Amino acid sequence: MAAPSPGNLSAQQLADISPIGTAVLNVRDEILFSNRRFRELMTCRSRRAFDGWSQSIARGDYERVATAYDTALKANKALRTEYRTGDEPCQWRLLMLTPFSEEELRGLPLGTEGGSYCTITDITEEKRAEISQKKIAEEAQRRKEQQERFIDMISHEVRNPLSAILHCTEDILEAVQQQDQQDIRVKDIAQAAETISLCVAHQKKIVDDVLTFSKLDAEMFTLLPRRVQPRQHLAMSLSMFRPELRKHDIDFEYKLDHSYADCEVDWIIADLDRMSQVLVNLVCNAIKFTAKAGNEKKISVFMGASKSALRRNATNRPEWGEGGMAYIMVAVKDTGIGITEEAQKRLFERFNQATPRTESIYGGSGLGLNVSRRLCHIHGGEIGVSSKEGHGSTFGFFFTVRRSVESAKSKPPRQEPGAIAELCREVQALSHEVTEGTNEITNPAIPTSPEITHVKEVSPSASKDEAWQHTARIAYEAGNTEVMRHSPSLAQSTDQSQYPKQQPSQSPRPPPDATKERRVLVVEDNVINQRIVARKLESMGFRVTAASNGREALAMVQQSTFDCILMDQAMPVMDGNSATRAVRDLEKHGMAHVPVLGVTANVRAEQQAEMKAAGMDDIIHKPYKMRDLCDKIQQLIG
């Protein structure tokens, strides 16, 4: 049968060709005319009843669409609405309802009651593209915000210690330049040097993590294996924490399991610099979360080995040698605040921390654990965590190594098996407990409170010299014994007396009358920076009060009068911007105006604008010289 010519096509045939569903409705929602596409998209049971179209609307959109439709009918207004269908997979529809005008009604069999012209279009592909584009835009925005936070974190974490380094350097130079060389106090110089060492170690960790993270992301990271002794190498890495352990009065122990001797891994081929980076990250976190713990403050590091394959790895290149495979296992246990089960699932994601409050209270970037996990993976290993909120945490990791041919000649002495053996055996289960290929980690079966035997702490009555000699002794002991112990409680306390008053020096000072009875409130969360700045300002004649966060500062402002507030911008509990706004609110209710000098390690213009908008009178950037700080304070207080 020949196809009809265009002149012979009926209105119905022409309408059925259209990809858009069309229909004419009267005021009683009866279909007077519809095309084939309309009926396909509406899934109506009756060719005449339009009310059946509601059956195709997804439950989540029904109320919204029904309300809009009824409102349009009552008001005799046009309607344009999108909705999802209840089909699987989900489909999207665009419904357009246009009332006929009086002129249009004259040519239609609708009488004077009126009616509407309805169209329905399948917009599924367009909506999917829109949703996909929206997700891409949201992800791009999230990445941009992450990048900005990352840059701010790097700026803060690197520039913040620079202030302490700069001020300690000034102290040393002033002491050396004193006219009376007999007045030089070696103890002051030694404390300044130790503070510099602590700050440099912190900066090195941040820089190492950032560089490693960048290389891993760019797939340019390679391991550099070499012959090394893990028990000694890791001990030397741990020695960097001695000042910080002593400062926070945290007990510390480092033990080897008997399996280490059984596996003959005294000398191995591995990239222990990278594995030390993992250990440093874990111990840094342990210190951070144990420092504010309750009565018991203790961190334990255990190391064992296994001959059994724990994970497939790519350490089969020629530079790794032909020695037998072995697996080094390390566990870090602390008595800190612990981690919830839900938070443990997010813990190893980039820029992520246990909870949003973790960063605000304890600081940090949320980068170290992600880097640690990826380093373990590339070294044929894995990392996991076992923790209970309020009862501390145990992080365990293992990595693949090759034995060196000298291993058998330098076999370390065996240690009697004990509870540590069980701990290390359970560390081996990490590869089975961690979900492969995802960011979600289940709890590895590591006991949260393993029984440690033969632990003998250094007597609290030991002399201070013994603590100071510990750094040099720790590496030597690693080569001669499988147990090293350190109790920082023997060191002097971390109160203000730890930082003696500055001796008279040649640093510029303001005139005596300029600082007479001038009270300065130093608000700084970094204890080292806080004490150094307070001591330096006191040496210049200011009366100094210190606060560790904005909330403490706000309480002090309401109790005492200050001539100037030195306000750090990034602090836990309450940041500098929030505290400054609160101070300005108090001034609106009668409190006298007090100048606020903002202190920040962030240099982005947006952040400086936020600080000024919060009510800060001026800003000084870290690192700064004390001369510049003093000049800023003088300008503000007049």
**519-561 tens-digit pLDDT:** 999 999 887 788 888 888 988 889 999 998 999 999 999 999 9
Evaluate whether residue 284 is within a structural domain.
yes
Evaluate whether residue 601 is within a structural domain.
yes
Q: What phi and psi, each to the nearest 5 degrees, are found at residue 310?
A: -105, -20
- Which residues, at least 6 apart from 275, have a Cβ–Cβ distance to it below 8 Å? 230, 234, 328, 330, 375, 379, 399
* Cβ-defined contacts of 474-480 (< 8 Å, 24+): 474/235, 474/236, 474/238, 474/239, 474/242, 475/232, 475/235, 475/236, 475/239, 477/235, 478/231, 478/232, 478/235, 478/236, 479/229, 479/231, 479/232
pLDDT in tens, 271-325: 888 888 888 888 888 888 887 776 788 898 888 888 775 554 545 555 555 667 8
Tokens of 523: 């608000």
What mean pLDDT comes out for the span 46-55? 63
Evaluate whether residue 140 is within a structural domain.
no
pLDDT in tens, 568-605: 988 888 999 999 999 999 999 999 999 999 998 877 78
More confident site: 507 or 433? 507
More confident site: 469 or 35? 35
Measure the CA–CA gap between 292 and 546, rounded to whole angstroms: 19
More confident site: 464 or 149? 149
- Asked if 440 and 346 sit in the same domain, the reply is yes
CA-based nearest residue to 441, from 531, 572, 362, 346: 346
- Asked if 513 and 561 sit in the same domain, the reply is yes
Measure the CA–CA gap between 449 and 594, rounded to whole angstroms: 51
Pinpoint the alpha helices (H) of 379-526.
Answer: 419-427, 430-433, 464-468, 470-478
Residues 233 and 396: beta-carbon distance below 8 Å: no
Measure the CA–CA gap between 226 and 452, rounded to whole angstroms: 33
Measure the CA–CA gap between 508 and 217, rounded to whole angstroms: 48
Residue 422 has pLDDT above 70, yes or no: no
Flag the least confident range among 111-115, 495-499, 510-514, 555-559: 495-499
Evaluate whether residue 107 is within a structural domain.
yes
- Asked if 506 and 592 sit in the same domain, the reply is yes
Residue 497 pLDDT class (50, 70, 90 cuts)? very low
Evaluate whether residue 480 is within a structural domain.
yes
Using CB atoms within 10 Å of the CB of residue 427, give its burial: 0 to 12 exposed, 13 to 18 middle, 19+ buried.
buried
Evaluate whether residue 625 is within a structural domain.
yes
Q: Which of 145-149, 182-186, 315-319, 597-601 has the highest mean pLDDT?
A: 597-601
Number of domains in the chain: 3
- Asked if 299 and 434 sit in the same domain, the reply is yes
**pLDDT for the residue numbered 528:** 78
Residue 140 has pLDDT above 50, yes or no: yes
Evaluate whether residue 474 is within a structural domain.
yes
- Asked if 440 and 531 sit in the same domain, the reply is no
Measure the CA–CA gap between 534 and 532, rounded to whole angstroms: 5
| DSSP track, 226-245 | EEE-HHHHHHHHHGGGHHHH
Q: What phi and psi, each to the nearest 5 degrees, are found at residue 145?
A: -65, -40
Q: What is the domain-level CATH number for residue 339?
A: 3.30.565.10
Using CB atoms within 10 Å of the CB of residue 238, give its burial: 0 to 12 exposed, 13 to 18 middle, 19+ buried.
buried
**pLDDT for the residue numbered 391:** 81
Residue with tokens 């509990």: 573
Parallel, antiparallel, or unpaired for β 483-486 and 251-256? antiparallel
- Asked if 562 and 434 sit in the same domain, the reply is no
- Asked if 429 and 515 sit in the same domain, the reply is no
| Position 89, amino acid | P
**pLDDT for the residue numbered 438:** 32
Residue 154 has pLDDT above 60, yes or no: yes
Neighbouring C-beta atoms of residue 346, cutoff 10 Å = 16
- Asked if 328 and 461 sit in the same domain, the reply is yes
Measure the CA–CA gap between 395 and 386, rounded to whole angstroms: 6
pLDDT in tens, 313-367: 545 555 555 667 888 888 898 888 888 887 777 777 765 544 333 344 434 445 6
What mean pLDDT comes out for the span 163-186? 71
Would you say the pTM of this structure is higher than 0.75?
A: no
Tokens of 530: 């806080």
**pLDDT for the residue numbered 413:** 43
26 is in which domain, residue-wise?
10-122
**pLDDT for the residue numbered 543:** 93
Task: State which of 70, 95, 122 marks the end of a domain.
Answer: 122
pLDDT in tens, 389-421: 888 888 888 888 888 865 445 554 444 444 444
Residue 496 has pLDDT above 50, yes or no: no
Residue 114 has pLDDT above 60, yes or no: yes
Element (H, E) at 383: strand 382-387
Q: What is the domain-level CATH number for residue 545?
A: 3.40.50.2300
Evaluate whether residue 128 is within a structural domain.
no
**pLDDT for the residue numbered 43:** 62
Residues 478 and 486: beta-carbon distance below 8 Å: no
Residue 383 has pLDDT above 70, yes or no: yes
- Outline where DSSP puts E strands in 198-273: 226-228, 251-256, 268-270
CA-based nearest residue to 346, from 310, 385, 316, 315: 385
Residue 566 has pLDDT above 60, yes or no: yes
Q: What phi and psi, each to the nearest 5 degrees, are found at residue 258?
A: -60, -25
- Asked if 464 and 507 sit in the same domain, the reply is no
CA-based nearest residue to 624, from 539, 529, 522, 496: 529
**pLDDT for the residue numbered 163:** 76
Task: State which of 490, 521, 539 marks the end of a domain.
Answer: 490
Residue 500 has pLDDT above 50, yes or no: no
- Asked if 479 and 508 sit in the same domain, the reply is no
Task: State which of 490, 523, 548 marks the end of a domain.
Answer: 490
pLDDT in tens, 1-36: 445 555 556 777 777 888 888 888 888 778 888 888
- Asked if 506 and 475 sit in the same domain, the reply is no
Q: What phi and psi, each to the nearest 5 degrees, are found at residue 314?
A: -115, 30
**pLDDT for the residue numbered 587:** 93
Q: Which of 97-111, 132-146, 246-260, 444-458 has the highest mean pLDDT?
A: 132-146
Residues 615 and 581: beta-carbon distance below 8 Å: yes
- Asked if 45 and 93 sit in the same domain, the reply is yes
| DSSP track, 499-544 | SPPPPP-SS----GGGSTT-EEEEE-S-HHHHHHHHHHHHHTT-EE
CA-based nearest residue to 208, from 295, 148, 147, 284: 284
CA-based nearest residue to 347, from 386, 313, 310, 293: 386
| Sign (positive or negative) of CA dihedral 104, 108, 111, 113 | negative
Residue 239 has pLDDT above 60, yes or no: yes
Residues 120 and 152: beta-carbon distance below 8 Å: no
Instruction: Name the percent of the chain in helix, strand, coil, to the closest 5.
Output: 45, 20, 35
Measure the CA–CA gap between 66 and 63, rounded to whole angstroms: 5
**pLDDT for the residue numbered 601:** 81
Task: Provide the total of helices (H) and of strands (E) in the chain, helices listed first.
Answer: 22, 18
Q: What is the domain-level CATH number for residue 98?
A: 3.30.450.20
The length of the chain, given as a count of residues: 638
